[in-house]
Chains A and B, each alone.
Chain A
Amino acid sequence: MTGTGAQRAWGNTIDWYLVGAYLLLVLLGWLNIYASEYDPENVRSIFSWDMRSGKQLVWIGTSLLLGLLILFFISPRSLETLSPLLYGVMLLLLVAVIFLGANTRGSHSWFVLGPVSFQPAELSKITTALLLANRMSRYNFRLTQRRDFLRTAAIILLPMLIIVAENETGSALVYLSFLFMLYREGLSGWWLLLLLMIVVVFILTLVLSPYVALWVTMAVAAVCVCAERAAMRTFFRIYLPAGLVLAFYPMMYRSWMASGLLAFLRPSWVLLAVALVMFVVYLVKAWKEKNSFRMFVAFALVLGLVITRVVPWVFQNVLQDHQRIRIEVLLGMKEDPAGAGYNVRQSMIAIGSGGFWGKGWLQGTQSSYGFVPEQSTDFIFCTVGEQWGFVGCLFIIALYVFLIGRIMVLSEGSREAFTRIYGYSIAGIIFMHLMVNIGMTIGLMPVIGIPLPFLSYGGSSLWSFSIMIFIFVALIRNEKKYFL
């Protein structure tokens, strides 16, 4: 044991709620991994090395060893001081894997060393969180300061971009979860709204049309500006009539103008012109009045405009086929039950067939018989849904909410900014994984291959989530050791 002075017994310093939730999830994961591979005609023991559950047992054991190592042999303080170095090494590994890694389904993100494979992207989340905690806990750090803001953004974006280059877009998206922590640390809620706007404009552009998407962007911008200045009159005099005219303009154009002298007044160009005028007016006024909110709205507007123009092109030319089809299927633009929709369809069938109480452990037909692909890794939640039913899903999700909530509460109560920032970072990461992974299995999210923390089969993922959690437990323990 490390440390001196008035210490509490080590058992009292560990947050057993957190560790208990972790152990329970890992155990349930192990049982479900066995169930997902269980073949009634060829029954093998849950401990059999031929089964993934047998291998997972090894990963669980080593994870716990790692946890003990972190808890009792590594000073949390050293993690704080070493974080820039760890971050740098991780970046190097992330780049190296592009050239040295094995090619799995088109992405170069795995180091394969004999029987063991390892994905640096998993661990780089932790080093990023540590470095962020290090930088942001410094005295004088203010997210509202441009320099600090940009630095923070760079720390997050750098690994993210390298992972995109590895062709692991799904893993890269996880880095957006740092917004969770950034919001807690004072990031303006408007940035989150901006992100939301990007997603909405993206979907509107694809599902309806660029025209509608841009119109909605402009309407939201106008409402924001008028609300901020309480300018009801301007809104009703200018924006509302103009908005209505523009809303019906394409119809008018088609019926009367398309073949006449005014045929050059194409709706898309007219709307674009109006949007540009709006942008310039807002920008000039914001400049004059030194109104940063207006400035923000003006740029949001121009961002929306660019998205509506660029998205269709990106969608057709930049995205790879499988990504495009996944998005199309999710948005209901295409049906493809045998192809891209197959996984999701099968997964929803498996979950849906569970009913309220489920079919019982090892009694599944869908997941056990292998209809759901990747059933022990990314689609492990299908086994939960089928065999444990709604009750099981409720329990698992509640357990996650408890775990994440516990991390948040402990972080909030921590005296150290480093612990708090790190805690919120990993809470966000686990939250993101939870939403995207389960959302994918029930058809709420596009198919993005990221694991369900603690439950999915796989050493790389279990190790990194275990390390992530145990560092936090160690940080909290460290605090409790010295403060009462």
Chain B
Amino acid sequence: MTEPTRHIRLLVALGVAALILLGRIFYIQLVDDSYKTDALNNSMAHIPVYPLRGIIYDRNGQILVGNKICYDLLCTPSALEPFDTLLLSRVLGVEKQVIQEKLAEYTSRQFRRKIGYRSVVMFPKLPEETYMRFEEISYRFPGFSGQARSLRQYPFNAGGNLLGYISEVDAQYIKAHPEYKSGDYAGKTGLEFSCERLLRGEKGEKIFYRDSRGRIGAPYRGGEADKPAVSGMDITTTIDARLQHYGQALMQNKVGSLVAIEPSTGEILTLVSSPGIDVDVLADIGAHYKEIAANPYKPMFNRAVQASYPPGSVFKLVNALIGLQEGVLRPSMKYPCHAGYHFGKNSRLGCHNHRSPIDMEEAIMMSCNAYFCYVFKDLIDNPDYGTAEKAFNRWRDYVESFGFGQKLGSDFPSELGGFIPKSSYYDKYYGKNAWKAHTIISLSIGQGELGCTPLHLANLCATIANRGYYYIPHLVKESEKVPLDEKYRQRHYTKVDTTHFAQIIPGMYRAVNAGWGSGATASIAAVEGLEICGKTGTAQNPHGDDHSVFICFAPRDNPKIAVAAYLENGGFGAAWAAPVASLLVEQYLSGGISQERKPLEKRVLEGNLMDKVKRK
């Protein structure tokens, strides 16, 4: 009928086909190892055990950021069985509808396909009491389970921006930090961010046998392979919680910053950026995110280290010091001031009314503009350097040595460097050798192309308080387990000889303590017995009223605190910044506000400058 070989061919085909199957099986069972490792992952449930995040203390042992336990309610769609939704809604205190909507989503085909046999966080961050209510009767809700995790808790309203917040890592973050997994939390701003590695701790895990329905069986190998979580390291900050809290109260309803440093260590005692984030908001940043983003005053923006302002008259101190160092200025030198400094044809840099001529001490005390124009002119037109450019570069070196124009290197994230123009900057505007002292005369009084942060100004104040050097301002204090970075132990000297610093301090002392009627600019900051030395500033700006600036330290000898206050659109330095800074100093040194200064405190606490500030 047919050729006899056909049935042989079919037998051969049968054999070949069987060999193909066996070859493939041989390959996946004995050659390719990847299926074995997968098998292990598949049949074990690795349940993460989240570590407690490190606690953040203030310098006196007060807890700024602690932990509280909360629970995520997980839902495993593949293990769901019909249950009493009404009971669950009562137990959890959520609307029944919300539960039904979520369940409808979880049980949809698309979602099931995506999630497979895994679980999804249905209600995050349930408080402990709520969760305990659920757990008692959890057997009535198959497919639901809880997972403990710690939330940040803030027992004391101090810090806000400074402390920063933590939030669940997103895909982008995981890409950049592969050691994190979805569901982990990480610090996103402030100290939580910069100390993430210390605070984070080490995640542990418990391993269980598991079946495909997400049902967890017995512990794998009796739990011997489990890894306990290691709590994060506790951190002590340099912040004084009570002072920080008081500083925040003073800055309430004002836009600006208040920074206090302990000059002898560089430790930041207070760092307020106003308006800031309240700690209540911080604990649940996700829920408030829209509101924060919509706030025209940008509360997330930490002005203390990120806003670049003109320093205003406080910068005169820097020019005086450079003048002294360069030998173009002696404390006894007197300059006239006739309502300002006159130069060129009909050009004048104005000044307020005061007696004339005056020496350096009085010029600092009364903040005479003309005086420092003379000083600056002598610096830039100094014949020793030949050209204005060379003299300017020399001046710039001095300014930079105070830390201006660069990041100070504090342990706070996203510090801004500020701006000190280079000679090339003016070359570009005016042409090479086409500019001289008078072209850039506003630098003499801290105006013009200068940009510095409130932290820079506080650092300047600390430098003067120390008579010539500073420690890099920092927020993390040495504690048992956390050593201090070596760079915070080094003194940074400026290029101005330390002997000159003592010469400008009498002017700062008299600016505060010379008494009403003397012409001193900061009499309002005087506190009896505290020997506050200060300098006001009134920074002109194109966006409205002048900024109110004040730096001060106290006491005069062995200063304990150096403060910079910068209030946007606050007017004269003496109007707002000087009261704010001096109240902070008084609070710190005396532990309270004296009776005669209570009205001033009341005025500051109740003062509202928000309307003056242009909203962005």
Contacts and interface: CB of A to CB of B under 8 A. Distances in A.
Contacts of B213: 370
Q: Which of B29, B113, B218 has the most CB of A within 10 A?
A: B29
Given A353-B35, A370-B212, A180 B25 contact: no
Interface stretch (B6-14, B245-253, B271-279, B287-295): B6-14
A274 to B, nearest CB: 35
Nearest to A356: B30
A160 to B, nearest CB: 21
Contact of A352 (B7, B28, B116, B210): B28
Q: Which of B24, B26, B115 has the most CB of A within 10 A?
A: B24
A289 to B, nearest CB: 26
B222 interface: no
A184 B43 contact: no
Interface in A342-369: 342, 346, 348-356, 365-366, 368-369
Interface in A366-405: 366, 368-371, 373, 385, 389-390, 393-394, 397-398, 400-401, 404-405
Contact of B212 (A40, A369, A443): A369
**Interface size class, chain A:** 35 or more
B38 interface: yes
A401 B43 CA distance: 33
Interface in B332-363: none
Contacts of A371: 42-43, 117, 211-212
Contacts of B11: 405, 408
Interface residues of B, number: 40
A186 interface: yes
B2 A369 contact: no
Contact of A393 (B29, B43, B117, B217): B29
Given A371-B42, A393-B22, A442-B21, A385 B10 contact: no
A439 interface: yes
B570 to A, nearest CB: 59
A298 B38 CA distance: 50
A263 interface: no
Given A339-B113, A353-B39, A371-B212, A394 B2 contact: no
Contacts of A354: 29
A438 B21 contact: yes
B15 interface: yes
Q: Which of A352, A389, A398 has the most CB of B within 10 A?
A: A352
Nearest to B6: A184
Nearest to B7: A412
A351 B35 contact: yes
B98 interface: no
A41 B217 contact: yes
A185 B2 contact: yes
B36 interface: yes
Contacts of B176: none
B528 interface: no
A373 B36 CA distance: 19
Given A346-B42, A352-B35, A401 B15 contact: yes
Contact of B43 (A339, A351, A369): A369
A154 interface: no
Contacts of A346: 42
Contacts of B14: 401, 404-405, 408, 431
Given A41-B218, A390-B26, A435-B21, A348 B116 contact: no
A402 B111 CA distance: 46
Given A180-B10, A370-B212, A348 B28 contact: yes
A352 B29 contact: yes
Contacts of B22: 393-394, 397
B21 A439 contact: yes
Contacts of B2: 184-186
A324 to B, nearest CB: 15
B28 A365 contact: no
B179 interface: no
A413 to B, nearest CB: 10
A123 B353 CA distance: 113
Contacts of A180: 10
Interface in A163-198: 180, 183-186
A444 interface: yes
A6 interface: no
Contacts of B116: 338, 342
Contacts of A184: 2, 6-7, 10
B25 A385 contact: yes
B114 interface: yes
Nearest to B34: A352
Contacts of A438: 21
A378 to B, nearest CB: 16
Contacts of A39: 211
A389 B30 CA distance: 9
B6 A338 contact: no
A350 B39 CA distance: 7
A186 B24 CA distance: 32
A357 to B, nearest CB: 10
A442 B18 contact: no
B140 to A, nearest CB: 20
A251 B105 CA distance: 49
Q: Which of B21, B34, B115 has the most CB of A within 10 A?
A: B21
B384 interface: no
A43 to B, nearest CB: 13
Contact of A401 (B18, B36, B115): B18
B29 A389 contact: yes
A173 to B, nearest CB: 16
A444 B24 contact: yes
A39 B43 CA distance: 13
A431 B20 CA distance: 13
B113 A338 contact: yes
A348 B29 CA distance: 9
B589 interface: no
Contacts of B15: 401
Contacts of B9: 183
Given A349-B35, A355-B29, A397 B18 contact: yes
B25 A393 contact: yes
Nearest to A400: B18
Interface in A28-66: 39-41
Contacts of B26: 390
Given A338-B113, A350-B39, A390 B30 contact: yes
A162 B18 CA distance: 31
A246 to B, nearest CB: 33
A438 B36 CA distance: 19
A195 to B, nearest CB: 13
Contact of B42 (A349, A356, A390): A349
A385 B29 CA distance: 8
B209 interface: yes
A444 B29 CA distance: 15
A391 B530 CA distance: 92
A338 B10 CA distance: 39
B1 to A, nearest CB: 7
Contacts of A397: 18, 21-22
B10 A183 contact: yes
Nearest to B117: A371
B29 A356 contact: yes
Nearest to B116: A338
A326 B247 CA distance: 66
A405 B2 CA distance: 19
Q: Shortest 5 CB-CB distances between A and B: which pairs?
A: A352-B35, A353-B39, A365-B43, A370-B212, A369-B211
30 contacts: A184-B6, A185-B2, A186-B2, A339-B113, A346-B42, A349-B38, A351-B28, A351-B29, A352-B28, A352-B32, A352-B36, A352-B38, A353-B35, A353-B39, A354-B29, A355-B36, A365-B43, A366-B39, A366-B42, A366-B43, A370-B212, A371-B43, A385-B25, A390-B26, A393-B29, A397-B18, A408-B7, A408-B11, A431-B14, A442-B24
Interface of B: 1-2, 6-7, 9-11, 14-15, 17-18, 20-22, 24-26, 28-30, 32, 34-36, 38-39, 42-43, 113-117, 209-213, 217-218
